[in-house]
């Protein structure tokens, strides 16, 4: 029982820390993808949006790595 409770607390702590980060990145990515799909924007604007999307993807990967590291430390 104590091990299951401890694991639940670890999952909650990690989720509390990383869920807001993931949500922020998801919102930015969704907005950038809308820009990329819109015919109203120029090629230059779409290129800038793609660079920003690449940055957000890198941030998401870093958040995933940090989350895995933190779970490993807590376990």
- Per the CB < 8 A criterion, the answer to whether 25 and 63 are in contact is yes
Tell me the pLDDT tens digit for each residue of 8-22.
Answer: 998 999 999 999 999
Helices marked H in the chain — which ranges?
A: 2-37, 43-74
Predicted pLDDT of residue 4:
86
Predicted pLDDT of residue 33:
95
Residue with token string 């230059």: 44
- Per the CB < 8 A criterion, the answer to whether 49 and 36 are in contact is yes
Predicted pLDDT of residue 6:
86
Residue with token string 């999952």: 11
Residues (pLDDT < 50) of the chain are: none
């Amino acid at each position: 029982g104590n091990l299951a409770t401890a694991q639940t607390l670890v999952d909650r702590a990690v989720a509390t820390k990383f869920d807001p980060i993931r949500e922020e990145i998801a919102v930015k990515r969704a907005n950038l993808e809308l820009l990329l799909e819109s015919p109203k924007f120029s090629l230059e604007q779409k290129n800038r949006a793609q660079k920003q999307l690449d940055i957000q993807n890198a941030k998401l990967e870093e958040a995933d790595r940090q989350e895995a590291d933190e779970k490993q430390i807590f376990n």
